A and B are shown apart, each in its own frame.
Chain A
Amino acid sequence: MDRVSYLGYTIPLEVKNMVPIVQKLEQEFIRDILSMVVLYMKTKKINLLEKEQHTKLNQITDSIHEKLTIKSEENKVEPNNSSIVFTGLYYLLKIAVKRKINAQTFTTDITDLKLPPYLITGLSNVFTNQIKDLSEKAMNDKILFPQLTDFKWRVDVIISSSFTSRVLQPVILMELKDSKDNCKLFEISIDNFHKLRYSVAKVLKDIDDLEQIQILQKLDK
């Protein structure tokens, strides 16, 4: 075998711990855990901007925890074991999403882990059906500085002022709002506006140039 498993040379401890436990558990129970893992991955976010999202995640983690405990009792399984399974499955999927592997590799590599066959099919199904959603979410979910959410502007011409009777000078008012709900209303002189416009154009061009660099294109594949 020349190819290394997508999990790496050494299988992560979280996954290793799970393998012996899943052999002993009921199929149904593990399916339940798997669907909870997917739900968790879909709601989890690094940057919880809105309070709503925060409460939602809390609710879901709470309910997952509760369900795990209840189900463990029903199935007469130690709650600790079901947590280990949850974590192991989560790692399997998380690393797969991060490495951007294809379904073929995923199936081969989890088969090598000697998991029960029904779990392999279950995971493969989850992978093929959800990978698009999950990787898109992972792409958008990253630590970020605040982003621009709203931009309003107004162009004025000053006619006169207390200093001079005839000014006739354009001036721009701008309102920027960022994703943390900070709002700034400010005036910007023509000179500074040109500077801003130049900077933005320059950065755009730099991004374009950057994307042309061969080695970066190769890295992305």
Chain B
Amino acid sequence: MASNNIFGSTKKFNDALEILNRVDNARFQKILVRIVNKIGRKGETIFTKQEEEMLENLLDLSGSEFKAMIQCCSFIFEQTAYYSLSSTNLFNQLENTQLDSEKCKSIQNVWEENYSDVLDFLRTKSISPLELDDVGWRLHYQMSSSTTNKRQASAIFEFSFKSDNNNNNDDENNDKMILEFNKEQLTNFFYKLETIQEKLDTLS
């Protein structure tokens, strides 16, 4: 895989590398850490407007140059994540570009430190609209009711869901499901979960 160039060599990319080469290395590394932790988190901005302005002044870059730098770094990490490159392979890839070796080393170091977190996050990232987020339960013992004095245990489970469009939370109740089980029902449910576990066991 190392033989193929995963970054391509478009004009835009090469221009951005020129900008990268001009940036002070100590600051560059700090910026990289910020970028790498935002990979795959859509809708989250890497820098606030204020920070952007400050950094542009510090690094002596124009607004568009700064933007190009951020995009270029994100692109490098996204590609690296996509191919799940090791840091050594990443370094080899970067050496084939116009980036100076000091910057290549910085990128390699940042990747080395963060890759397991980033990859774990990307692998488990779901595109399903509804995802189970949490399970809560409460166990009851019924002492008496309006119709009978029969005592029995029952459990209430609450499933909370994480929905994709949590920005427009118009209906809170929609993201929860409450179910009541008596012992027999719960046992049946447990056996079904056990079947799933068996299937999972055959996979690993």
Interface residues of A (CB under 8 A from B): 46, 97-100, 135, 138-139, 141-148, 151, 153, 155, 157-158, 161, 163-167, 169-174, 176, 178, 182, 184-190, 192-193, 195-197, 199-201, 203-204, 206-207, 210-211, 216, 219-220
Query: Shortest distance in angstroms between B116's beta carbon and chain A's nearest beta carbon?
Result: 13
Measured CB to CB, the closest approach of chain B to A173, in angstroms, equals 8
Whether the Cβ atoms of B148 and A174 lie closer than 8 Å is no
Known: A172-B200, A187-B128. 14 other contacts (CB 8 A): A97-B148, A98-B147, A139-B148, A147-B181, A161-B125, A163-B125, A189-B132, A192-B132, A197-B194, A200-B193, A203-B157, A204-B186, A207-B155, A211-B153
B20 contacts the other chain (Cβ, under 8 Å)? no
- Asked if A147 contacts B151 (CB within 8 A), the reply is no
B132 touches A187 (CB 8 A): yes
In the complex, the answer to whether B147 meets A165 with C-beta atoms within 8 Å is no
- Please give the residue numbers on chain B whose beta carbons come within 8 Å of chain A beta carbons, in ascending order: 40, 78, 81-84, 119, 122-128, 130-135, 137, 139, 141-142, 145-151, 153, 155-157, 159, 161, 177-181, 183, 185-187, 189-190, 192-194, 196-197, 199-200, 203-204
Output the nearest chain A residue to B150 by Cβ-Cβ distance: A139
Knowing A145-B179, A169-B124, A178-B177, the reply to whether A196 touches B147 (Cβ < 8 A) is no
B179 in contact with A178 (CB, 8 Å)? yes
Residues of B within 8 A of A196 (CB): 132, 135, 193
CA A15 to CA B137, docked complex, whole Å: 43
B155, A135: Cβ atoms under 8 Å?
Answer: no
Q: Whole-angstrom distance from the CB of B17 to the nearest CB of chain A?
A: 24
Instruction: Among B132, B179, B190, B196, point to the contact of A186 (Cβ < 8 A).
Output: B132
Q: With A and B bound together, what is the CA distance between A186 and B128 in angstroms?
A: 7
**Bound-state Cα–Cα, A178 to B185, Å:** 13
Chain B residues with CB under 8 Å of A147's CB are 179-181, 185
Judging by beta carbons under 8 Å apart, are A220 and B135 in contact? no
Interface contact B148-A145, CB-CB below 8 Å: no
Q: Is the CB of B141 within 8 A of A216?
A: yes
**A161-B125, A186-B130, A216-B151 in contact; A195/B135 too (CB < 8 A)?**
yes
Assess the A210–B141 pair: CB atoms within 8 A: yes
Nearest CB of chain B from residue A26's CB, rounded to whole Å: 32
The distance from the CB of B31 to the nearest CB of chain A, in whole angstroms, is 22
Residues of B within 8 A of A185 (CB): 130
Bound Cα distance from A196 to B147, whole angstroms: 33
Question: Closest A-chain residue to B153, C-beta based?
Answer: A207
- CB contacts (< 8 Å) of B82 on chain A: these are 163-165
Nearest residue (CB) in A for B155 is A203
B156 / chain A contacts, CB cutoff of 8 Å: 145
